[in-house]
């Protein structure tokens, strides 16, 4: 381990950032160093700018990816190397809010009905039933399921915050089928090659993509789609925003409020003020033959 890497990890530890954030930031700095073929200590704002432009122009990276890479490099130069030029020299891309993609109830059903591997089926069902993030699901342990209290304990969610969510009775029945077959010991969804470890992120994303293709979904399917579907379908069923905020583990309810814009049933339930007007019927134009 190089002295710079060691120092950065120590700075991350001092700030008590989540393991996921530590891993992501260190990996991002490694990629930057490989691109520049030098230690980041010898590099400055021009190299950082060229690297971020390389991600945008050559890799067509999305804004969130560029923001994440920038955040990691900012931590390196500001917090670890104590440089003061970063915010003045490195522009921050503007994040444009987009509406989340939503799987319909019929599409979720089709995905599950076309998934015949029991482990994969149970993971996809758990995504949809709980709204868990990918990293939260892969780190679920057997001990996190409390069938007596009908609760799931989510450990170290985004921001390192624990939370509890309700365990669906229908999901519990399916989980029991999975338990009898797989008999997991520690991790709920262990790796096949390394049973003492959870499945890795890439494996879960691949199985989601394959499940979508088998079901004939006309767009890429990834773990967060089930999270979006869970939240939106709960809204359609009458759940309030605060309940959904707690379920999803959002720190800010404004993040949860995005789902109001994609809840079709709620949009259709709102009457236009035009509907309340008492208007005379119109059967034809009073000035037929004249057009403006």
Give the residue numbers marked as catalytic: 133, 158, 224, 227, 250, 259
The number of residues making up the chain comes to 292
The CA–CA distances, whole Å, from 281 to 277, 278, 285 equal: 12, 9, 11
CA torsion 208→209→215→217, rounded to 10°?
120
Within the chain, strands assigned E span: 145-146, 151-154, 163-166
13 CB contacts (<8 Å, ≥6 apart)? 22
| Token code pair at residue 276 | 């309340």
> Cβ atoms within 10 A of the Cβ of 268, count?
9
CA neighbor of 207 nearest in space, from 129, 105, 116: 116
């Amino acid at each position: 381990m190089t002295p710079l890497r060691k120092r950065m990890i120590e700075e991350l530890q001092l700030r008590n950032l989540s393991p996921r954030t530590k891993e992501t930031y260190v990996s991002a700095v490694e990629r930057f160093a490989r691109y520049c073929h030098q230690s980041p200590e010898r590099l400055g704002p021009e190299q950082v700018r060229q690297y971020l432009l390389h991600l945008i122009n050559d890799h067509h990276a999305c804004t969130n990816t560029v923001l994440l890479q920038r955040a990691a490099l900012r931590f390196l130069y500001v917090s670890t190397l104590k440089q003061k030029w970063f915010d003045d020299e490195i522009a921050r891309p503007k994040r444009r809010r987009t509406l989340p993609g939503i799987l319909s109830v019929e599409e979720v059903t089709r995905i599950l009905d076309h998934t015949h591997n029991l482990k994969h089926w149970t993971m996809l069902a758990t995504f949809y039933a709980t709204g868990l993030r990918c990293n939260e699901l892969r780190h679920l342990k057997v001990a996190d399921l409390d069938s007596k209290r009908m609760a799931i304990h989510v450990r170290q969610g985004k921001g390192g915050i624990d939370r509890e969510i309700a365990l669906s009775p229908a999901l519990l029945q399916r989980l029991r089928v999975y338990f009898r077959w797989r008999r997991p010991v520690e991790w709920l969804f262990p790796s096949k090659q390394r049973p003492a470890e959870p499945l890795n992120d890439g494996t879960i994303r691949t199985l989601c993509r394959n499940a979508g293709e088998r079901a004939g979904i006309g767009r890429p399917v990834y773990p967060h789609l089930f999270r979006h579907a869970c939240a939106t379908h709960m809204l359609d069923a009458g759940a309030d925003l605060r309940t959904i905020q707690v379920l999803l583990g959002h720190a800010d309810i404004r993040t949860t409020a995005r789902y109001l814009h994609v809840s079709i049933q709620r949009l259709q339930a709102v009457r236009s003020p035009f509907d309340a007007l008492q208007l005379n019927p119109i059967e034809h134009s009073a000035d037929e033959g004249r057009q403006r």
